[in-house]
Structure 1
């Protein structure tokens, strides 16, 4: 299927590993010119090299801490200086932070909001004028299913993600006249470096994820793959999804009780 992404320019935050890296790969294979960013320069450089080799197209990388407004501005200015336009923005940067409410300090709340909410809104604000210049664009915000169904001990992430969901819904209406589409993907259990780090090295990886799916009650009986999430994100970013905006799609194997 031709996604209509040839020569489009896409920014993927948190693009050095996991879903971000898989999304960058999917977009590049579809013909987009992709810029990835992340904090760890060494991991980012390896991802850039490997992705360029895997896709046969140049993938660019910029070390950026999206929590820092100056870094966000430098990212957007750098993309425009190098590639001249922005068509797709995938706000993927974020980590899982979950604790009991009374244990959370103001600093913990602020750090999570800076990473998962303010980074996205600052990037969107800077990208909008460039998307208008090319007649529209696509923004995909990566959230999690806790945005709709928060559990005890799930803060601050679920609060930040719920705010991201509201941002998605409101912006989809506000930016529709400019043909800028805004959608969200709500992630459930997906294989990732964060999960891998928690695995006992003596336990087989496949067994580890199979046990996790069973314990969490995933109806499809397994944990999702980053590449599967990337396919959905690439579709939402593309001309094939030209009539989809304001959607928040669960990517969770049926685990969420809230559609």
Structure 2
């Protein structure tokens, strides 16, 4: 299927490795030029070189601290200069699993909560605020936020709070920007295979979902590409679980 993405321009945060890198690769394979952003330039540069060689698309590495207003504004301005505009925003920058243990109320700290929320929730808001005027001006765009299935379960106070907030943020964006041709949706991955996943983690995750195996980062990336497509305009403001199915839970 032709996703009609050739020539589109994307900004993907948290893209030097893991799910973000897989997303950038999937979009580039569909003909998208991509700015990849993260904190550290060295791994970003290596990833940009790898993806450009694999796809033949323009992959530009730019550093950002999504916890800082000025850094995010500078990123978006630089991305627009690099690509000539931005059509697709994928927010993925966050601390995997949360900044600190918070399985119990005693373990949860306001410092960890505020740090995580600043980088992930407020960071997603900052990036959307900076990109949205460009999408509205073009009367077309896609915002895809990567959350996490901790939003739908207990066991980590901070992770549950931050990922639940991502869905709330995204629905607000969808309702406001939808009339301008811009959609916004959330993907909540569960445990996902990346470069750092151990065999022990794979077995544990496989035993916790209904497909009996771990979901690969490339599968999350495929879903992002679908939502980024002009063919996906009927989907707006939705939260999509992508963790291989949660046993004994009915979502409706």
**1:53-202 mapped onto 2 (5 Å cutoff):** 53-94=53-94, 95-97=96-98, 98-99=101-102, 100-147=104-151, 149-152=152-155, 154-193=156-195, 196=197, 199=198
Map of 1:235 onto structure 2: 226
Pick closer, same or farther for the CA change 1:20–1:258 going to 2, 3 Å.
farther
The one-character-per-residue Cα deviations of 1:53-96 (angstroms, maximum 9, x if unpaired) are: 11112211101111121110111010112222111000111121
Mean Cα deviation higher: 222-231 or 161-170: 161-170
Does the Cα contact within 8 Å between 1:72 and 1:122 map onto a contact in 2? yes
The one-character-per-residue Cα deviations of 1:82-136 (angstroms, maximum 9, x if unpaired) are: 2221110001111212412222332211110011100000110111110012111
Map of 1:249 onto structure 2: 240
Tell me the TM-score normalized by structure 2: 0.93
CA distance in 2, matches of 1:31, 1:187: 24
Does the Cα contact within 8 Å between 2:60 and 2:82 map onto a contact in 1? no
Does the Cα contact within 8 Å between 1:213 and 1:223 map onto a contact in 2? yes
Does the Cα contact within 8 Å between 2:89 and 2:144 map onto a contact in 1? yes
Question: Is the partner of 1:16 in helix, strand or coil?
Answer: coil
The one-character-per-residue Cα deviations of 1:207-231 (angstroms, maximum 9, x if unpaired) are: 65134312x2x11000000001100
CA distance in 2, matches of 1:91, 1:25: 15
Does the Cα contact within 8 Å between 2:136 and 2:177 map onto a contact in 1? no
Question: Is the partner of 1:11 in helix, strand or coil?
Answer: strand
Question: Is the partner of 1:42 in helix, strand or coil?
Answer: helix
CA distance in 2, matches of 1:188, 1:39: 24
The one-character-per-residue Cα deviations of 1:30-72 (angstroms, maximum 9, x if unpaired) are: 1111000011222111111100111112211101111121110
**1:11-50 mapped onto 2 (5 Å cutoff):** 11-50=11-50
Map of 1:202 onto structure 2: none
Tell me the TM-score normalized by structure 1: 0.90
CA distance in 1, matches of 2:55, 2:113: 38
Asked if 1:221 corresponds to 2:221, the answer is no
Q: CA RMSD in A?
A: 1.5
Q: Which runs of 5+ in 2 are unaligned?
A: none
Instruction: State the Cα distance separating 1:193 from its structure 2 match.
Output: 4.3
Question: Number of matched residues?
Answer: 246
CA distance in 2, matches of 1:72, 1:236: 23
